[in-house]
Amino acid sequence: MANTKLLIIDDDPDYVDGIKSILEKAKYQVDAAYNPKDGIEALKSGNYDLLLLDIMMGRGAEGVMVARKINKDPKLREMPVLIITGIREQMAFLFPGQPAHPRLLPTDELLEKPVDPDLLLEKVDSLLKEAAGKKEEGA
Amino acid sequence: MATKPTFRQEISNLLYASHGDPFSNCIQCGTCSGTCPVAEFMDEPPRRLIGMINANMKEEVLDCNTYWFCASCYHCTVRCPSNIDIASVMYAVKRYSIWHKTYSDELVGPVFSETFMKTVAHNGKSYEPILATTYLFGFGAKEFFQEVQGATRMMLKGRIPVLPSKIKHLKNFQKMIKRIVPIGEET
């Protein structure tokens, strides 16, 4: 697990500190980018096994744009993405009563803030296993 | 890897990516404060607000009313000799305050924005009588009746529609919003 590299793209430094410490305790190697632009650059330069992505960043739902960019890139598309968002609290007034649906974007999984640490680790673990399985199938 | 951002960097992150961190360009000339039509009603004029963001005075920045009073006239942006988009900075601080819920409950601004967005998402355009309810009850009795009287007169003359009107092709417009903010049931 020490060689598993994760990237968090989230603009809330306190939140990043929180999830980072949970993941580092579980022996993952975690990097963070605090805005979508740095995030995309980090994704292109580093070799990450999984991305944890926030949605409400920058001038609005810029996380959506990041996810769309990833889905367009043939190399990055292989990487599992876990969306962690408070979008319902921040934007649900647009469509009252409707939850953020689990396939908000053509990404892999979605967790809503605040996140339960055990659930977070469980999702990260299952996504990594799934991705490893897919790689083996492909090889 | 990236170090933990300061408050100033957090606000920069809420601007256009191409604007980077514009706060260091501020020369504190005060053109923004001098040109701002609502500066006299603000706790801190725009020049001081930028100085405070520069100094990472997070609590003081979030506590003042400056960014809520900004009328978005963009005069400061147009006249800033350092090309800082000050009106966008005001919006960035508003976003920060809304996303982190740091504003007090009685503040009109956030409820007004929310109601505005709701009506636009619902009808494709805003509708004044609904918007007015967000601030009308904060008025004194005299101002309240003055406002109601004025609105009634405008309604009778057909200047304000009695029922909210909807735009043509509303479904397409709502689909467009859902594409930008993909929330709610899958269509």
| Residue A10 belongs to some domain of the structure | yes
Q: How many CB atoms lie within 10 A of CB B161?
A: 11
Q: Please tell me which residue of chain B has the smallest CA distance to A40.
A: B17
C-alpha gyration radius of chain B: 19
The CB density around residue A2, as the number of other CB atoms within 10 Å, is 7
Q: Determine, yes or no, domain membership for A137.
A: no
For residue A136, tell me if it sits in a domain. Answer: no
Structurally, how many domains does chain A consist of? Answer: 1
CB contact (8 A) between residue B183 and residue A37: no
ipTM of the complex: 0.83
Do the Cβ atoms of A98 and B1 come within 8 Å?
no
Query: Residue A9 is part of a domain; what is its CATH number?
Result: 3.40.50.2300
Chain A positions in Cβ-Cβ contact with residue B117 (cut-off 8 Å): 93-94
A115 in contact with chain B, both atoms CB, cutoff 8 A:
no
Domains of chain B in start order, with CATH, are 7-99 (1.10.1060.10), 108-177 (no CATH)
Which 2-61 residues of chain A touch chain B by CB within 8 A? 11-13, 16-17, 31-38, 42, 56-61
**What tens digit of pLDDT does each residue of A44-92 get?**
998 899 999 998 888 888 888 888 888 888 888 889 999 888 776 665 4
pLDDT at residue number A91: 59
Residue type, A115: V
pLDDT for A52 equals 94
B184 at A interface, C-beta within 8 A: yes
Q: Which of A111, A131, A106 is nearest to A121 (CA)?
A: A111
Contact status of B17 with chain A (Cβ, < 8 Å): yes
Residue B84: the pLDDT is: 95
Phi-psi region of B74 (alpha: psi -120 to 50; beta: other; left: phi over 0): left
Q: Distance between CA B95 and CA B117 in Å, rounded?
A: 14
Chain B residues in contact with A94 (beta carbon < 8 A): 117-118, 121, 177, 181, 183-184
Length of chain B as a residue count: 187
Residue B22 is predicted with a pLDDT of 92
List pLDDT tens digits, range A4-28.
999 999 999 999 999 999 999 999 9
Name the residue facing A33 among B2, B10, B183 (closest C-beta).
B2
Instruction: Tell me the residue range of the domain where A72 lies.
Output: 5-90+99-130
* Chain A residue whose CA is closest to B175: A95
Q: Is A100 within 8 Å of B183 when comparing Cβ atoms?
A: yes
Phi then psi dihedrals of residue A81, to 5 deg: -125, 130
Share of chain B above pLDDT 90, in %: 58
> Looking at the partner chain, which of B17, B181, B183 has a beta carbon nearest the beta carbon of A36?
B17
Domain membership of residue A139 (yes or no) is no
Among B residues 40-99, those touching chain A with beta carbons less than 8 Å apart: 91, 95, 98-99
Q: Is the pLDDT of residue A97 over 60?
A: no
